[in-house]
């Protein structure tokens, strides 16, 4: 009985959370669990898993501008960051400015670091899990 | 109705095969292949994908009720494939049968060449088999026993 | 995971492509060399016009008599070969990897389409297997190596499909897929899969012999 009530409570909370979080357009980084940019349209792959806060904590990334960077004269400016913009505000779908289209910008940033650190997902299915964002974490434990 | 293929009695084949030794067979085969088996032979044998599409072309195959041993690739299988696989180390009995195939079960009409998607000249390989058998003195003489002599 | 994946996707992939390219060049060049020495008439007979006529005539479905006589086989084999080449070349995942490694990319198949085409390849291989097992004229000329080659050809498609769907053991199938794809490439120059390279050469010669020497049609 207790279990049922807990389940019910969690279920309602989850639904409420989904309704609330999806109805508020401006969300903060704590809420990010997966990445989906409308610039991709419908998209070919399931959204990439990325639990913003947990990820950066686990990966021990302190500087926001590793990802939210600002480039000037081809250099990543150390003390500036761009978390107020989306990747797609600067990296468009086509080649050209800056130098890589959006998908490649994501892949180079995420995979590039994972490869360099020899930690974190590097295969398509680990980042774009069919089971949805939650399944990926279980799958993650394998390696 | 097609007859079952029965063993042909022929003095040329029988006497010719009786005179053979394994060393001679190996020497002659490798001699012929070294001299005449060039890029085409290699390409033909190595490119054949064993698809069987040449069978329909052959009137021997047709008139023997689609017996696969009479299909063009089937004849190559029984002759050239074995010779190349064993590098010429084949028995007198094998040469006798090869001669029978190349000389009496193929007319070199080359119709199969027109059916092969890979452009393989199967008759060319039968000619090589004939040449080997001829060099070994295992050839058909039909009726007259003395024609089979020589070499 | 990083170590295994990086190895099969890095050095091993380089090796596979190198063996494929260098092996293919070696096979073709050495054959042309031997022809120059031993089959001199090959060069004398071959004419560009008849060579091209013959290659086109046998690469277009239903252009030649043989292909009209067996429509099912013709359709299966053409569909098979098109999918066989189109899927790996235009697969999104493959292009993403080319892009990542060399910053080159090109048009890709929609994922759903590529998925179906992979199954089509598997089905076509099933048809070929069925022919080998049941048709007397094919069965007679079938050797164990024919089954092995069929398995090598179908393996990247089966494993790629399983990996793509991530049903069970995703990483296992992915690594197996990459190994299978590399085996496939390595096998091309050294097995009968090399008909991919020698089809045009053989046809060029025999087509020229038909047209320029014997003055007959290329059926
Ligand atoms: C040489 C190295 C190769 C690498 C590194 C490679 C890599 C990949 C990757 C990463 C995937 C996506 C899996 C996923 O969605 O998670 C894939 C799928 C696939 N690959 Fe490859 N591959 C290679 C060779 C080949 C070859 C040679 C073929 C075919 C002849 C092939 C056919 C396929 C197919 C059919 C799929 C699945 C398509 C689908 O069902 O959606 N691959 N490959």
Determine, yes or no, domain membership for B34: no
| Sequence-distant (≥ 6) Cβ neighbours of residue B139 within 8 angstroms | B12, B13, B16, B99, B103, B133, B148
| Sequence-distant (≥ 6) Cβ neighbours of residue A18 within 8 angstroms | none
Determine, yes or no, domain membership for C219: no
Determine, yes or no, domain membership for C57: yes
Question: Would you say how long chain A is, in residues?
Answer: 143
Residue A23 has pLDDT above 90, yes or no: no
- The model's pLDDT over B112-151, given as tens digits with 9 standing for 90+, comes to 999 999 999 999 999 999 999 999 999 887 655 454 444 4
Residue C28 is part of a domain; what is its CATH number? 1.20.950
Segment B52-73 mean pLDDT: 95
The domain tally of chain B equals: 1
Which CA distances in Å does A97 have to A80, A94, A100, C72, C168?
A: 20, 8, 7, 51, 40
Determine, yes or no, domain membership for A19: no
Give the residue numbers spanning the domain of A88.
26-127
Q: Phi-psi bin for B81: left (phi > 0), alpha (psi -120 to 50), beta?
A: alpha
Determine, yes or no, domain membership for B32: no
Residue A56 is part of a domain; what is its CATH number? 3.90.10.10
Rounded-to-integer distance, Cα B54 and Cα B51, Å: 8
> In the prediction, which pLDDT does A8 show?
57
Q: Of A133-142, B41-50, C13-22, C141-150, which range is least confident?
A: A133-142
CB contact at 8 A, C157 and C87: yes
CB contact under 8 A, C192 and B51: no
> In the prediction, which pLDDT does B144 show?
53
Task: Give the confidence band of B7 by pLDDT, cuts at 50, 70, 90.
Answer: low
Task: Give the confidence band of A25 by pLDDT, cuts at 50, 70, 90.
Answer: very low
Determine, yes or no, domain membership for B147: no
> In the prediction, which pLDDT does A17 show?
47
Nearest CA in chain C to B39: C35
| Sequence-distant (≥ 6) Cβ neighbours of residue C146 within 8 angstroms | B50, C132, C192
Average pLDDT, chain A: 77
Does A42 touch chain C if contact means CB atoms closer than 8 Å?
A: no
Cα torsion C50, C53, C56, C57 to 10°: value is -110
Q: How many CB atoms lie within 10 A of CB C138?
A: 22
Does B77 touch chain C if contact means CB atoms closer than 8 Å?
A: yes
Indicate the helix (H) or strand (E) that contains A76: strand A75-76
From the list B50, B68, B118, the residue facing C136 with the nearest CB is: B68
Q: What is the mean pLDDT of each run of 10 residues along chain C (219 residues)?
A: 90 97 96 87 87 92 90 96 97 95 92 96 97 96 96 97 93 96 96 94 91 84
Of residues A12 and A113, more confidence is placed in: A113
The sign of the dihedral angle between the CA atoms of C136, C140, C141, C142 is positive
What ipTM, to 2 d.p.?
0.87
> In the prediction, which pLDDT does B10 show?
81
> In the prediction, which pLDDT does B69 show?
95
Q: How many CB atoms lie within 10 A of CB C74?
A: 19
Residue A49 has pLDDT above 90, yes or no: yes
Determine, yes or no, domain membership for A68: yes
> In the prediction, which pLDDT does C141 show?
96
Residue C158 Cα, ligand 1 centroid: separation in angstroms?
10
Determine, yes or no, domain membership for A3: no
CB contact under 8 A, C199 and B120: no
CA neighbours within 13 Å on the CB side: how many for A52?
Answer: 14
From the list B37, B42, B53, the residue facing C66 with the nearest CB is: B53
Determine, yes or no, domain membership for A138: no
> In the prediction, which pLDDT does A95 show?
61
* Contact exists between C and A (3 or more beta carbon pairs < 8 Å): yes
- Residue A75's SS3 state is strand
> In the prediction, which pLDDT does A83 show?
87
Nearest CA in chain A to C173: A125
CA B19 remoteness from chain centre: 19
Q: How far is C56 from chain B (nearest CA, A)?
A: 11
Of residues A112 and C44, more confidence is placed in: A112
Q: Phi-psi bin for C202: left (phi > 0), alpha (psi -120 to 50), beta?
A: alpha
Residue A22 has pLDDT above 50, yes or no: no
In this structure, which residue's CA is closest to atom 14 in ligand 1?
C164
Nearest CA in chain A to C111: A44
Nearest CA in chain C to B68: C137
Rounded-to-integer distance, Cα C18 and Cα C175, Å: 20
Beta-bridged to residue C144, according to DSSP, are none
Give the residue numbers spanning the domain of C70.
2-213
Segment A48-56 mean pLDDT: 94
Structure letter (DSSP) for residue C212: I
Cα torsion C114, C119, C121, C126 to 10°: value is 180
Determine, yes or no, domain membership for A4: no
In this structure, which residue's CA is closest to atom 35 in ligand 1?
C157
Does A115 touch chain C if contact means CB atoms closer than 8 Å?
A: yes
CA neighbours within 13 Å on the CB side: how many for C93?
Answer: 22
pTM of the model: 0.89
The domain tally of chain C equals: 1
Give the residue numbers spanning the domain of B61.
43-139
Determine, yes or no, domain membership for A49: yes
Determine, yes or no, domain membership for B16: no
The domain tally of chain A equals: 1
Segment B83-101 mean pLDDT: 94
> In the prediction, which pLDDT does C139 show?
96
Pick the residue of C113, C160, C169, C170 with the most A CBs within 10 A to test the interface with A by mutation.
C170
Determine, yes or no, domain membership for B83: yes
Contacts of C among chains (3+ CB pairs under 8 A): A, B
Does C110 touch chain A if contact means CB atoms closer than 8 Å?
A: yes
| Sequence-distant (≥ 6) Cβ neighbours of residue C214 within 8 angstroms | none
CB contact under 8 A, B39 and C38: yes
- The model's pLDDT over A53-111, given as tens digits with 9 standing for 90+, comes to 999 999 999 889 999 999 888 788 888 888 888 998 888 776 655 667 899 999 999 99
Residue whose CB lies within 8 A of the most ligand 1 atoms, among C93, C110, C171, for a mutation test: C93
Q: Of A13-27, B6-20, C10-24, C178-192, which range is least confident?
A: A13-27
Residue B103 is part of a domain; what is its CATH number? 1.10.1060.10
> In the prediction, which pLDDT does C178 show?
97
The DSSP-derived string for C105-164 is ------HHHHHHHHHHHHHHHHHHHHHHHH-HHHHHT--HHHHHHHHHHHHHHHHHHHHH
Using the CB atoms, write b or e for B74-110: b if 16+ within 10 Å. Answer: bbbbbbbbebbeeebebebebbbbbbbbbbebbeeeb
Does C65 touch chain A if contact means CB atoms closer than 8 Å?
A: no
* Packed helices A102-117 and C92-102: angle between N→C axes, nearest 10 degrees: 70
> In the prediction, which pLDDT does A19 show?
46
Q: How far is C199 from chain B (nearest CA, A)?
A: 5
Determine, yes or no, domain membership for B149: no
> In the prediction, which pLDDT does A37 show?
87
Beta-bridged to residue A71, according to DSSP, are A76
């Amino acid at each position: 009985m207790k279990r049922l009530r807990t389940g019910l409570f969690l279920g309602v909370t989850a639904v409420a959370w989904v309704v609330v979080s999806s109805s508020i357009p401006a969300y903060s980084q704590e809420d990010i669990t997966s990445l989906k940019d409308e610039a991709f349209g419908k998209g070919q792959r399931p959204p990439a898993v990325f639990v913003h806060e947990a990820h950066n904590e686990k990966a021990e990334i302190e500087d926001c501008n590793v990802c939210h960077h600002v480039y000037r004269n081809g250099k990543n400016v150390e003390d500036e960051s761009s978390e107020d913009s989306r990747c797609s505000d600067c990296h468009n779908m086509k080649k050209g400015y800056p130098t890589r289209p959006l998908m490649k910008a994501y892949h180079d940033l995420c995979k590039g670091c994972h490869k360099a650190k020899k930690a974190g997902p590097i295969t398509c299915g680990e980042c774009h899990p069919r089971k949805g964002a939650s399944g990926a974490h279980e799958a993650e434990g394998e390696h | 109705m097609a007859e079952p293929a029965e063993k042909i009695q022929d003095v040329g084949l029988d006497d010719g095969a009786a005179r053979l030794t394994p060393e001679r067979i190996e020497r002659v085969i490798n001699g012929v292949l070294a001299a005449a088996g060039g890029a085409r032979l290699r390409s033909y044998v190595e490119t054949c994908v064993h698809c069987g599409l040449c069978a329909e072309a052959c009137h021997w195959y047709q008139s023997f009720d689609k017996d696969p041993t009479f299909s063009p690739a089937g004849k190559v299988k029984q002759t050239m494939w074995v010779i190349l696989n064993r590098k010429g180390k084949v028995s007198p009995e094998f040469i006798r049968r090869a001669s029978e195939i190349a000389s009496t079960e193929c007319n070199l009409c080359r119709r199969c060449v027109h059916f092969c998607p890979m452009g393989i000249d199967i008759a060319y390989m039968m000619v090589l088999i004939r040449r080997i058998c001829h060099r070994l003195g295992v050839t058909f003489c039909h009726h007259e026993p003395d024609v089979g002599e020589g070499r | 995971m990083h170590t295994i994946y990086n190895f099969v996707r890095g050095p091993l992939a380089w090796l596979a492509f190198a063996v494929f390219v260098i092996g293919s060049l070696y096979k073709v060049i050495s054959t042309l060399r031997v022809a120059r020495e031993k089959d001199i008439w090959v060069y004398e007979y071959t004419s560009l016009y008849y060579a091209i006529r013959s290659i086109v005539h046998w690469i277009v479905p239903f252009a030649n008599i043989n292909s009209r006589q067996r429509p099912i086989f013709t359709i299966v084999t053409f569909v098979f070969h098109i999918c066989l080449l189109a899927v790996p070349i235009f697969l999104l995942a493959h292009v993403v990897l080319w892009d990542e490694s060399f910053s080159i990319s090109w048009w890709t198949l929609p994922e759903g389409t590529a998925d179906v085409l992979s199954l089509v390849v598997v089905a076509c291989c099933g048809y070929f297997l069925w022919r080998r097992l049941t048709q007397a004229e094919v069965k007679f000329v079938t050797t164990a190596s024919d089954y092995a080659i069929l398995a090598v050809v179908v393996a990247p498609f089966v494993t790629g499909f399983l990996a793509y769907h991530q049903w069970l053991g995703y990483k296992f199938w992915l690594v197996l897929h990459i190994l299978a794809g590399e085996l496939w490439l390595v096998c091309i120059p050294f097995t009968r899969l090399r008909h991919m390279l020698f089809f045009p050469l053989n046809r060029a010669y025999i087509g020229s012999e038909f047209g320029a020497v014997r003055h007959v049609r290329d059926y």
